[in-house]
Structure 1
Amino acid sequence: MSSAKLSLLEAVNLALHRAMREDANVVVLGEDVGVNGGVFRATAGLRDAFGFKRVIDTPLAETMIAGLAVGMAAQGLKPVLEIQFMGFIYPAMDHLVSHASRLRCRTRGRLSCPLVLRSPMGAGIRAPEHHSESTEALFAHIPGLRVLIPSSPARAYGLLLAAIDDPDPVIFLEPTRLYRMNPQVLVDDGQRLPLDSCFTLREGSDLTLISWGASVHETLQAAAQLAEQGVSAEVIDVACIKPLDLDTLEASVRKTGRCVIVHEAPKSGGVGAEIAASLYERALLDLQAPIQRVTAPDIPPPLYRLEPLYIPAVADIVAACDTVLNYA
């Protein structure tokens, strides 16, 4: 059993290698995933290790990739398909929404659809707009789809392995801004993480900070700044935005009485609104201030010079925390 300091990108690669070693039904497909090892090299080395029949370079056709994966999954394979950037995912949505998400229901349990769709997401790498999307709420709205967003190498490794094991379709979104940020020691032990659970990254008593994906990075920094001011902030990484682990979120908010939700996706109709509404339904009388949301504005991702103004910053999070802490 080996251990090394790995980035989130390397953790994804390690999980794919292990899953394919453990189960001959796991296949990888997508644009440039084989010979080139993927646009970010997340699938590097897989074709050499497992051959062209299990690591399949496809045409540039996201609709076809998704449809092919649904067919593979229905017949007993476990396809892991890669969409190169989240802005290219929309042609695949017809198959994901119309077929993958409802295959178990449509066949009364006779068939399942154990596919995993991997895609980079989010801004912060100086890329054009269609390479910088955070549209996870589109998939969270669809019954039958599970949506995961890891925020660290360890969670990427454990959640991806669990996602591949899952008998139903999983959307696995990888924040590109975190791909090479903050490597951590990771043991290749095959340990799966629970799919439908939040992760409490920092205990606190004065307020709850809820985030996921790349924004967890700024949220933890904000919590550290608040600690210097004597404020104890609890930080929760949602990780699985569908289904939500509302029990963990509710327990934290009941304890602290205040809540700030941080995400990079636009504000309107975002997952943060769903979390806020659920917490109001469950814990209204324990809240000592209105819940605040810190998000990107309702605009397309801008060109890279404006990215620092688009991505929620540490100062924005701290300002929202001041609002809930000083609410009278």
Structure 2
Amino acid sequence: MRHIRTFRSFWPLAVLLSIGLIGALILSVNIGPDGPLWALSFSPKLSKVVFWDLRLPRAILALLVGAGLAGSGAFVQGVFRNPLATPEILGVSAGASAGAVLFLLLGWGGWSLWGLGLGAWLGALVSAGLVFLWGSRQTGLSGLLLAGLALSSLLSALSSIFLLMSGQLQLSHFLFWLAGSLENRRWEHVILAAVTILPAMTVLMLQAGHLNVASLGDETAISLGLNLERYRLVNLMVVAFASAGCVATAGAIGFIGLMIPHAVRLLWGEDYRFFIPLSLLSGGLFLSLADTAVRLLPWTIPVGLLTALLGAPLFLVLVRTQIQGRP
């Protein structure tokens, strides 16, 4: 397969995806269950509220969360040199979910978004630290992945226990949130997502050159002066920070961190200087379009269910294409 790897060919694709993002944003704010925005022009006050307070925050949040999920997935796959590695498999997302649910259940921070974000952040950091502590002392990268899978299962079970301990009203809220939803999102959600996802993605893009070195193999990377253990730990914490922002503001939306980087890799290859920015743009575009599609349905479902329904079969097709393309 032909891989595109030069700046000259990177920019047209990046510009095309950026135009797609702008188009998706415009489409998102103009389409909704209460009709297109222009149809509300008979009431300027109503159309202003719908645009500024309902649709625009949700549309921007979809772009941020989609970019954060895809960017985190792309970086984790590079660090572990495994196209199936994601923050979900490492237990980071499960830790964020468990921490947020525990904080809400215990009433720490009440039902405030920032209390939810703090719980998700602490849960993600603790789970990332435990995975690194347990896994790195065993069998390197494979040990980290196995530790992540075990911890993810444990934390998912704990989240289920927390849900069973909650009241009926809390249970309904938790289940809808954990399924991954952008319903009723406000500007404070956008702010929380921005202050967690944007700095983390900036750090990961700045680390892309080192990731190219790390992808050459442990011995080669060490011989070139890269401290792999510190590099993996620091960037795993950065990914945990971004994942916490995604989970706190949108719940557990799956498959984007797995599928989008895989699709970009098939087109582009693995020069992470280009691969990560393209994954960010593609992830934001995908989640924005998926959320717009959800709002056109005659019933309300979390966008996380739609990404799973679309992502699972599409990912299988991508894996099959990759296998058939190997010599």
Instruction: Assess same fold via TM > 0.5.
Output: no
Higher helix share: 2
> Which bracket does the TM-score occupy, shorter chain normalised?
under 0.3
Give the structure, 1 or 2, with the largest relative contact order (CA under 8 Å, sep 6 or more). Answer: 2
Higher strand share: 1
